[in-house]
Structure 1
Amino acid sequence: MNEKVPWKAQWIWSGGEVSPRNEWRCFRKQFHYSCAHYEEQVNIKITADSRYVLYVNGTLVGRGPVRSWPFELAFDEYEIGHFLNAGADNTIAVIVMHYGVPTFQYLRGRGGLLAQIDNNDRKVILATDSTWTTAIHSGYDSRSSRMSCQLPFTEIIDSRDWDESWTETGFADDDWEPSDVIGPVGMEPWTSLIERDIPPLTEEPVYPVRIESLSRVKPRSWGVVLDLRNHFVPSSEQHANNVRFYGYVTTVIRTNKPVRAIIGIVDGGRLSWNCSINGVWLDENDYYGEKPERYLDVQLVQGDNFFMMDIQGSSHGHGFHFAIDCDEPIEIVSPLESRLDPAGTRSPFATLGPFDYVEIIDHQPERPINPSHPDFMQARKIAGASELEHFKGWLRPVDNRYVSRDDVFSKCIWKKQSVQMPIPYSLQNAVIANRAAAVVPVYPEEHTELIIDFGKEFSGYIEFEADASGGTVIDFYGFEFMRDGYRQEMYELDNTMRYVCKEGHQTYSSLVRRGFRYLMVTVRNATKPLKLYRVSLFQSNYAVAEIGRFQCSDPLLGDIWEISKHTTRLCMEDTFVDCPAFEQTFWVGDARNEALVNYYVFGDDAIVKRCLRLVPGSNFQSPLYGDQVPSGWSSVIPNWTFFWAIACLELYRYSGDRKFAEQIWPHIRYTLDHFLEKLDDNGLLNMKGWNLLDWAPIDQPNDGVVSHQNMFFVQALRSAALLADGVDEECAERYRSRADDMKTAINAFLWSKERQAFVDCIHSDGRISETFSMQTQVVAYLCGIADDTRLRRLETYIVTPPHEFVQIGSPFMSFFYYEALAKLGRFDVMLDDMRIQYGKMIEHDATTCWEMYPNSTENRANPNLLTRSHCHAWSAGPGYFLGAFVLGVRGLDPGWSKVLVEPQIADLSWARGTVPLPGQGRIDISWRADRSTRKLHIRIEAPSALELSIVSPEGYEAVIERIGLG
């Protein structure tokens, strides 16, 4: 069959840069197809670096590849016979988006495309070679800004600069160049190719529900986004690690007359900064605006104004958004203007520095940075561009590659005037699936802004259809939350897209994935009203059916289950991801909890296996394994690796796949043995790392003995031992023994007799923490660390948390809290906590679960925010707990041939729902509690072969109706 046909294709690219920054390169091959016989099946195998979109005769067939390690690069296979015209010419067209920078889901490789078409007679019909033609897609702006440090670049396209018929047969590509063959299959860095192990993601058309607002707006006058990290530290283009640096950014603001201007940094990308104008440094009192937006009102003199910014901090790669608003014309010119090269590759900016920098890897020693370099301090006295010459050793012009042509994000959120208008009903045609057009009005010397509500958060690819005057600019900006006149901006995520219209009717489908609920659409520079036929989204996620169901006598709990389900679905792409907007990153620890929710709402295990298999590929970065993979950021959160080991056991228990358990076992043993090497003389895990569990202010230093980390290590060792039974009995017994030894050490060194609780940590200097947290007590109970009186003390804390303890700080930590409550049998406390914490989200019109609890003091950069991310699958725990415990369905053996049904009624009178069964359908269950007769009426519909163990709550008699299937 096709998978056995050997590769004859060769890797191709162009003769230009090996790994160009943000290059959109097109390839095409026209060929004559003669069908050998009626039943011929034609498949294409394809992969690329970094991502591709495949077209056959003008029809979009697929996107890929799925995220993978470059040394195990995934390829896709599509059946394309039904797209081909037999006995005629056909065209394969591919656009490859090469990032040229690493992200949190991609390691930088080099540009390349590999494709091969063959049939079921094992004949290779077509393969990539030097006869394929190629050209850079000139419509896409290679100087667009980074979306975030986790993601590649925003999408800016000028439709006037490109013929979109390039994907079709008959397109004249005479001016395209032949592709260069760069090597055979097996070349570096793609030394091994593996077939995609999950189905293609969905692409479901989703329409908005309404136009939320219509406004006349005037944006700020000028703005750019700077990539300061890659400019200051060029080696940082090879990795996504944090880089700490400091230096100066300089430019000249030129005016024809004295004028006031506002300088704004709408998002500094976590870098701190301060400004000077003509040698006068401003202090904190001169700035205004809510952080991270900061503004400065300055007086500019006629002629040249020398502007300098002191830049300091750590950066993974977020953009630095710098903008100016002025009522008079201004020109931004290089302070090195006389030496500006004729080719125009230098921007209006120059820098001094970095005066010192250091790359930060979480689990490795860090060199301290020198913040007082004498040249840095001396440069603060510079008052004009001519004085830069004294610092030639530090002086560098900024390459245009690191400076965007405009800043769509700041243009969307910084408006010096905004007047909201009544919304004519005809404008709603833009969101209605009909053929009528919404006529978007044009206001003289102003821009027109629509905010469109999709009703729920979604994730995928924007598509729109419009009729416009040539040169009309349509800016799109997706965000997650607005209410009562307040809009939460997507700081640290440039969630924008720009489309410059050609004349007439046009349709565009975005090639960049975005997550949002609300979409701001701003029409600029239109010479006639824009006819907007539709704005929609191709919702794209992992292909699952929504098998799970849950309802109960408390409709609030039903709503909470629904948002948990929708959140999990949006956070299932080619792996589990933390969120569909900000990061789209596979965080290993998050995925353990997300997998459990997935089992109960979708019942899929293939995505879980894929995620678990990806993790050991990070061993070249650390034998402790990475906390997010595959990623250019080399980072370790020990708990995340422990959760991975625990998740491997849980996957086996769910699926019954012993082969998977045997394959993953050596990797589990490899990393846990390396962790065991980090035990100190007291038998405790004592290490430097990102020792995280919760965002709350618990004492979890990045060096030392962290209690919750030691406890989860015990749990990981026990889980690994269970998985090793029958595979590696000697190691299983060793892990059980080491877990028991660690439990003894935890009780000996981390229990406070005075406070009768476990301390949070022992610092690297030997100092015992004075912090006591619910997090540590919950983990101690959950991991079986305490016995006897200590155990009973923990049980008391879990039911009634002492107010002086640090409280649970995130829904992620609540997952473990709910596990502890379930183990204790206190389902009443669990449901009450869900109603309070998740009920606040529902009150705020949430359609997905938030990353943080509303207004938590640990809401990252801004405690006044309701939350950072409004869609975060680490928070979707109710989707698991309501099915596993209120419906009461849990597997009793690997593969769930035996199932326990043990409903926990708490204060509910009835519940009904569905739980997927691994590989064997589903179980439908409903129950109703009659408190007067103390009877629990249970109806179960399930496969007849399923062995059920039905347990009623204490004090209730079960009245059972079972319907067998098959």
Structure 2
Amino acid sequence: MMTANWQAKWIWGEGEESPRNEWRCFRKTFDVPAATDSRPGASLRITADSRYVLYINGTRLGRGPVRSWPFEQSYDTYEVSHLIKYGEENTIAVLVLHFGLSTFYYLRGRGGLLAELNDSDGNVIVATDDTWLNSRHLGQHTRAPRMSVQQGFSEYVDATAWDSSWVEQSYNNTASWSNAIVLGSVGMEPWTTLKPRDIPMLTDETVYPVRVESLAKVKSFHITTALDVRNALNDGSEEHANGIHFTGFVVTSIRAQCAGVATIGFLQSGQCLRTLSLNGEEIPLDRFYGTMPELYTDVNLNEGDNMLVIDVSGNIHAGKMDLGVYGEACGELQFAAPLEQLAAHSESTFFRIGPFDSIISIDHQPSRELEWAHPVYVKLLGELKRPEDLGRYEEWLSPIDPKYVSEADVFALSVWRKENVKFAVPAQLQNAIIPNPDAGVVPVFEGYDTEVLFDLGKEYSGYLSFEVEAEAGTVLDWYGFEYMSGEYRQDTFDLDHTLRYVCHGGRQVYETPIRRGFRYLALTVRGATKPVRIYGVTFIQSNYPMAQVGRFECSDTLMNDIWEISRHTTKLCMEDTFVDCPAYEQTFWVGDSRNEALVSNYVYGVQDILKRCLRLVPGSKHQSPLFVNQVPSGWSSVIPNWTFFWAIACAEYYEQTGDEAFAVEMYDSIQYTMGHYLLKIDDSGLFNVKGWNLLDWSPIDQPNDGIVTHQNMFLVKTLRVAAQMGIVAKDKEGAAKFEQAANNLANAINEQLWDDEKKAYIDCIHVDGRRSDSLSIHSQVVASLTGVVEGERKQIIDAYLIQPPKEFVQIGSPFMSFFYYEALAKLGEVRLILDDIRHHYGTMIRHGATTCWEQYPNFLENRANPDMLTRSHCHAWSSAPAYFLGREVLGVRSLTTGWTEVEIAPVPSGLTWAKGSVPHPAGGRIDVSWTTDESNQTMELNVSYPEGVVAQIRLPEGYTGSIKETKLGIV
């Protein structure tokens, strides 16, 4: 057995403690004695900050670690006997990707690697120390743009500058490598505790494109850059992912070889473009064309330097500015320092003026107002006419570190095309989609770049790989996105899913270490003088490993398609935690995961992933005792409902599994945070908090300060859950306290938030005491679902649920529909659930959806662009159908903790037949199939379930027929 102790040391290389976007390579070559028995054991433990890719003797073995709090750093263990060459020399190679800043799934630590190889007796074969060699990956450009504030960085790799064979055992070109630096022993800061990985390794499933969608010759910007305004103007903002409010300017020069007309474009500029001036002339926003987040203006450039000043003030979260210039008539273009004396003292071509004021925003709310009247800020743009005028602002002027200024903006180049001429796709080019001895040949068009667009057939989440043959220096720009329809392409303006790969000469294979989610993949070939040969484009789908135990099929083919996109969406959003989406954020949003887990219970039946999700949440108490809404994260943001959904999910996990020890463990944290929530009950007896008081994207009156009705109601439900968990934990006193608090809050809600004239619950009471004028279906749904409403009022509310009044604010997202369906199911209105699913999810299917959308069409953010049906096209908070079709149509429901007793009671709701399976949490599955004859109200019902489970099986009310019951033995 391996000992729990570590002899390995944390190691890193020379340079910064926490460098921005640095890839560092580590190698150790060592001898392993000949084996003394036929099956010697060897296992490797490893972790890194921030992420690693592990190779043994050239074979990629795994990626990791799973996301974790730095004070509970997770490590992975691999059984490696099959890769070790006994009696020979062996090599371990590790690529470590260090972010150097906080994201929505990572808190900034410092660069580090820890690894130890042990034999079957626990003896150390090799461990990280100062004998390991290391080098920065010299082909990786550290200045690649941020993907988003939620994530790390996009990718720019120059294969001419780094030998990809460094992972091989035979590699010997290590003259420029240096010995690693020992940082310290296990237990050092910031990784004070190490915990073994608590879920299996994620999958590697090979997926190929289904076709080459299009071929075009294109022209785009002549120069581009992506500027990290957030980090460049707010010193120290790498330490967190909170929003920022500030005032300040960015200044540079556009150097033109000759005078002429040019186009300046700002993409993803909604947060970083207030106004600008060129050569002292202010260009108001009404001189721009396009719509946010794409804005363009045509300008006259002078020969030589043209000073550009951009007001980047405002409220930013991502804070990335994508800037491009197209100037066919201007000759060679480049960005330059606006003054020679500035260039003489700095390598930077961009400078900042300010910030004059800067504050951190929590939960979308600044701690104070910006000083918009700062005397320098107010008059600067009008007075800054010539580069020489910069001298007046010497106090505020400083170079922007080049690390915040990208060498190229592949996203902007991929999105904006000055010319885009399409061609029929040659049959031979389709060879590019699958590894093939006959390559797909990408043609070259003189004076143009070539774009090839691949369609994977549906969205996937994982890692891109490709094999090509090209001239040295040929640039391959890859860009993934989720949706297109005809000529419309929904570009991901708040996400940079790009990869620039500069080819070395000849045939080569590249596999990205960065996870991405998309359906469509645009490849733009730049700088090629000869055609590029593509021998295959491969996508490695990676998710939590699970069998598809759950099934569903019925007489309505539309419903079958809807179930399938719900299943696939859930799969893509099961990584090392449940995540909101595989593309935009890849973030463990606490509230989302509650609904995702219920869907997973009915499709996959796995529990470890939810267990680790629930355990991660209390780790955020160092950020807020109310617990943060996404973890582990650098954004200290609280959505109270998300904490409530976490506590509810803890109870539902206990009900699903019967894991009493886990329930007791979670009760301690539930008790802790609920105690702090009760401190927010004001003198009126209602929950009153300043936070992000969210439930749905639709325009409910849910202010971030005051008394929000749906939030108060969910708190009632959560307090009752806390009481139930207290009983399990044998804390009768605590349980009684929570039950009484729930009753008191419910009484206060019914006394103060019910409008007797309108016969409905209002949405809120504002901080100034003003009662909301609008009514929403949301508040009525939550009143019914949480049991807050009773008696005659419940009859009124239930009628609203069955036929929502048109004057009420309607549901805006499938996430909210989940709660609506739960409320309808309690009323026995399954037919209404199916009708609503057909309407909303049928719209997705008609628009070619292969996964479930985040929002319904016409949500607030997309009204400026009717083609934009939703932001994210793959969001697991929207996978409700896969849960309700199994629970209500097949009729499989648990009646007791741990599913020891179940009910099988189908509800046909107009369907003539249905069949499917639901996983049982103890193993095995429950199979159901039924057919009906509506003319005489008969049903033939067949069920099978594991022996030892007590099943209550019944036909729908009013039906007669037969029941065939089969009990399956347990091995």
State TM-score, norm by structure 1: 0.98
Aligned to 2:747: 744
Matching of residues 762-911 of structure 1 within 5 Å = 762-857=765-860, 859=862, 865-911=868-914
Q: In 2 relative to 1, CA 764–396 (structure 1 residues): closer, same or farther, beyond 3 Å?
A: same
- State the partner residue of 1:10: 9
In the alignment, is the contact (CA less than 8 A) between 1:269 and 1:318 conserved in 2? no
What is the correspondence of 1:635-674 to structure 2 with a 5 Å cutoff? 635-674=637-676
Q: Could you give the per-residue CA deviations for residues 234-258 of structure 1, whole angstroms, max 9, x where no partner exists?
A: 1111111001112111111222432
Cα distance in structure 2, aligned partners of 1:887 and 1:778: 24
Match of 1:940 in 2: 943
* C-alpha separation in 1, matches of 2:8 and 2:587: 31
Residue 337 of structure 1, CA deviation: 3.0
**Paired amino acid for 2:780:** Q
Residues 689-729 of structure 1: CA distance to partner in whole angstroms, max 9, x if unpaired?
A: 00000010100000110000000000111112112213112
Name whichever of 856-865 and 932-941 sits farther off.
856-865
Say whether residues 1:757 and 2:722 are aligned partners: no
1:695/1:858 contact within 8 Å kept: no
What does 1:454-473 align with in structure 2 at a 5 Å threshold? 454-473=456-475
Residues of 1 paired with 2:11 and 2:37: CA distance? Answer: 31
Residues of 2 paired with 1:363 and 1:766: CA distance?
22
Match of 2:32 in 1: 33
Q: Distance in 1 between matches of 2:273 and 2:825?
A: 45
Aligned CA distance change for structure 1 residues 204 and 861 (closer, same or farther; 3 Å): farther
Q: Deviations over 1:646-667 (max 9, x none)?
A: 0001011111111111111100
- Give the structure 1 partner of residue 549 of structure 2: 547
The structural deviation recorded for 1:396 is 1.0
The residue number in structure 1 matching 2:259 is: 258
Partner of 1:504: 506
Trace 1:86-101 onto structure 2 (pairs within 5 A): 86-101=86-101
CA distance in 1, matches of 2:469, 2:500: 16
Shift in Å, 1:561: 0.5
Give, in angstroms, the shift of residue 336 of structure 1: 3.5
- Distance in 2, Cα, partners of 1:24 & 1:113: 12
Tell whether the 8 Å contact from 1:841 to 1:854 is kept in structure 2 after alignment.
no
The answer (yes or no) to whether the contact 1:860–1:868 under 8 Å persists in 2 is no
Task: Note the alpha carbon deviations across 1:393-432, whole angstroms, 9 max, x for none.
Answer: 1111111000000110011111111100011101100113
Q: How does 1:200-239 map to 2 (within 5 A)?
A: 200-239=201-240
1:918 and 2:921 equivalent? yes
1: distance between equivalents of 2:76 and 2:340?
50
CA contact (8 A) 1:250 1:309 kept: yes
Determine helix, strand or coil for the equivalent of 2:476: strand
Pairwise CA distance, 1:301: 2.2
Question: How many equivalent pairs are there?
Answer: 963
Query: In structure 2, the residue corresponding to 1:436 is in which secondary structure?
Result: coil
User: Please, what is the CA RMSD of the aligned residues?
Assistant: 1.3
- Aligned equivalent of 1:103: 103
Within-5 A mapping of 1:687-726: 687-726=689-728
- Residue 855 of structure 1 deviates from its aligned partner by 2.7
* Contact 1:855-1:864 at 8 Å conserved across structures: no
| Structure 2 match to 1:607 | 609
Q: Does residue 386 of structure 1 match 2:388? A: yes
- Given candidates 539, 561, 586, the residue that maps to 2:563 is 561
Alpha-carbon distance in 1 for matches of 2:257, 2:605: 67
Query: Equivalent residues in 2 for 1:115-126 (5 A)?
Result: 115-126=115-126
1:619-649 Cα distance to aligned partner (Å, 9 max, x none): 0000000000000110000000000000001
1:634 has 2:636 as partner: yes
Distance 1:863 1:736 in 2: 48
Q: State the distance in 2 between where 1:960 and 1:336 align.
A: 86
Could you say which residue in structure 1 is the equivalent of 2:491? 489
Q: Residues 666-689 of structure 1: CA distance to partner in whole angstroms, max 9, x if unpaired?
A: 001000110001101111100100
Q: Aligned partners of 2:534 and 2:40: how far apart in 1? A: 43
- Rounded to whole Å, the distance in 1 between the matches of 2:343 and 2:633 is 37
Q: Contact 1:261/1:297 (CA < 8 Å) preserved in 2?
A: yes
Deviation at 1:737, TM superposition (A): 1.0
| TM-fit CA distance, 1:944 | 2.4
Instruction: Answer whether contact 1:616 1:667 (CA < 8 A) is retained.
Output: yes
| Cα separation, 2, equivalents of 1:528 and 1:511 | 28
| SS of aligned partner of 1:816 | helix
Q: Are 1:677 and 2:683 counterparts?
A: no
8 Å contact kept, 2:271–2:312 = no
Q: What one-letter code is carried by the residue in structure 1 that aligns with 2:79?
A: E
Structure 2: which amino acid aligns with 1:900? E
Distance 1:288 1:365 in 2: 31
Q: Which amino acid aligns with 2:82?
A: H
For structure 1, the 5+ residue unaligned runs are none
For 1:743 and 1:71, locate their aligned partners in 2 and report how far apart those are by CA, in whole Å. 39
Asked if the contact 1:696–1:858 (Cα under 8 Å) also holds between the matched residues in 2, the reply is: no
Give the counterpart letter for 2:820 in structure 1.
Answer: Y
Post-superposition shift, 1:43? 0.3
What do residues 507-543 of structure 1 show as CA deviations (whole Å, max 9, x unaligned)? 0011100000000011111121111011110000111
The SS at the match of 1:321 is strand
Counterpart in 2 of 1:308?
309
Please give the secondary structure, in 2, of the residue aligned with 1:92.
strand
Q: Take 1:856 and 1:951, find their aligned partners in 2: how far apart are those partners? A: 42
The whole-number CA distance in structure 1 between the counterparts of 2:645 and 2:428 is 53
Kept in 1, the 8 Å contact 2:359–2:366? The answer is no
Per-residue CA deviation, residues 717-752 of structure 1 (Å, 9 max, x unaligned), is 111211221311211111111111111000001000
Query: C-alpha deviations, 1:75-94, integer Å up to 9, x for none?
Result: 00001111011111000000
**Contact 2:43 / 2:80 at 8 angstroms: preserved in 1?**
yes
| Residues 843-882 of structure 1: per-residue CA shift (max 9 Å, x gap) | 0010000001123345488665200000000001111000
Among 438, 442, 445, the alignment partner of 2:444 is: 442
Task: Specify the SS of the correspondent of 1:415.
Answer: coil
1:294–1:198 Cα change, 3 Å: same
Q: Does 1:175 align with 2:176?
A: yes
**1:50-93 C-alpha deviation (Å, 9 max, x unpaired):** 00000000100010000000000000000111101111100000
The SS at the match of 1:518 is: strand
**Residue identity in the other structure for 1:797:** Y
Residue aligning to 2:79: 79
CA distance in 2 between counterparts of 1:863 and 1:375 reads: 41
How far apart, in 1, do the equivalents of 2:518 and 2:299 lie? Answer: 36
User: Which amino acid in structure 2 is aligned with residue 713 of structure 1?
Assistant: L
Look up the match of 2:363.
362
Task: Determine what percentage of the aligned residue pairs are the same residue.
Answer: 52
Instruction: Label 1:16 to 1:341 Cα distance change in 2 as closer, same or farther (>3 A).
Output: farther
> Does residue 241 of the first structure (1) align with residue 242 of the second (2)?
yes
Deviation digits for residues 140-195 of structure 1, max 9, x if unmatched? 10010000000101111011111111112232223211101011000000000000
The aligned residue for residue 374 of structure 1 is 375
Contact 1:697/1:858 (8 A) holds in 2: no
Question: What are the ranges of 5 or more consecutive residues in structure 2 without an aligned counterpart?
Answer: none
Amino acid at match of 1:385: P
User: What secondary structure sits across from 2:733 in the alignment?
Assistant: helix
TM-score (norm 2): 0.98
- Alpha-carbon separation, structure 2, partners of 1:548 and 1:837: 23
Report how far residue 962 of structure 1 moved.
Answer: 1.2
Deviation at 1:348, TM superposition (A): 1.1
| Amino acid across the alignment from 1:412 | S
CA deviation after TM superposition for structure 1 residue 338, in Å: 2.0
2:597 is the alignment partner of 1:595: yes
The 1:646–1:756 alpha-carbon spacing in structure 2 relative to 1, beyond 3 Å, is same
Structure 1 runs of 4+ with >3 Å offset = 857-864
